[in-house]
Chain A
Amino acid sequence: NAGVTQTPKFQVLKTGQSMTLQCAQDMNHNSMYWYRQDPGMGLRLIYYSASEGTTDKGEVPNGYNVSRLNKREFSLRLESAAPSQTSVYFCASSGGISSYEQYFGPGTRLTVT
């Protein structure tokens, strides 16, 4: 049981390049989330998917797109990376109807130069 996995762990991009961050969970959870973590800002929600087939914007969605490929997988795409998107990205999932406790992946450290 791997929990929540993310790939890659580290990535360096040049301004304007695109990339997709992958996330998968094996806990049969309905909901999945993408956060970014910046110094002094805590965790900020980028996009989330309450259930397979739905996605919604979070607090900081600009510059990102997401795909809920199936129940297990939720990807985050940067179409044209900018230095302001340098951050650590965490994927999370939750499945409980009453608790919404979230389980986090190990994070992806992205640097945009």
Chain B
Amino acid sequence: ILNVEQSPQSLHVQEGDSTNFTCSFPSSNFYALHWYRWETAKSPEALFVMTLNGDEKKKGRISATLNTKEGYSYLYIKGSQPEDSATYLCALHTGTASKLTFGTGTRLQVTL
């Protein structure tokens, strides 16, 4: 079983703060790294799919970087807003089958 770890488990920031969290994965099994955003009472929605070492992706105030050699990815949120409150999941795709292995997520709460 692959071990995809996310830290911290939860995070509480104030509106306007910038924040980041980490996804760690075994570098020997890498094909792609996915980030999903999961709001309470909704379904997970894809943010980024990253495949190349050194990849950087950006969507609005959210960006992500990837280091496949050391097995980690960072997700950054600049100027957090209350609507950013959600659980952020990363998932590893090893390429051997069409399935993903998810981390347990980082739960972000942004307050006014």
Shortest beta-carbon distance from B51 to chain A in Å: 8
Choose from A33, A103, A104 the contact partner of B99 (Cβ within 8 Å): A33
With most chain A CB atoms within 10 A of its CB, the pick from B1, B102, B105 is B102
CA distance A12 to B89 in the complex (A): 28
Shortest beta-carbon distance from B35 to chain A in Å: 10
CA distance A107 to B45 in the complex (A): 13
CA distance A99 to B101 in the complex (A): 14
CA distance A104 to B43 in the complex (A): 6
Choose from A31, A90, A99, A101 the contact partner of B43 (Cβ within 8 Å): A90
**Is A106 interfacial (CB-CB < 8 Å)?**
yes
> Closest residue of chain A to B49, judged by CB?
A99
**Is A56 interfacial (CB-CB < 8 Å)?**
yes
What residues on B are CB-neighbors of A19 within 8 Å? none
Contact B32 A99 (CB under 8 A): yes
Total chain B interface residues with beta-carbon distance under 8 A: 22
With most chain A CB atoms within 10 A of its CB, the pick from B44, B46, B103, B104 is B44
Shortest beta-carbon distance from B20 to chain A in Å: 20
Choose from A56, A101, A105 the contact partner of B46 (Cβ within 8 Å): A101
Per-residue B-contact encoding for A68-109, CB less than 8 Å = 1, 0 else: 000000000000000000000010001000111111111100
> Closest residue of chain B to A35, judged by CB?
B102
**Is A40 interfacial (CB-CB < 8 Å)?**
yes
* Interface residues in chain A, defined as those with a beta carbon under 8 Å from any beta carbon in chain B: 30-31, 33, 35, 40-45, 48, 50, 56, 58-59, 90, 94, 98-107
* Interface residues in chain B, defined as those with a beta carbon under 8 Å from any beta carbon in chain A: 1, 32, 34, 42-46, 49, 51, 89, 91, 93, 97-105
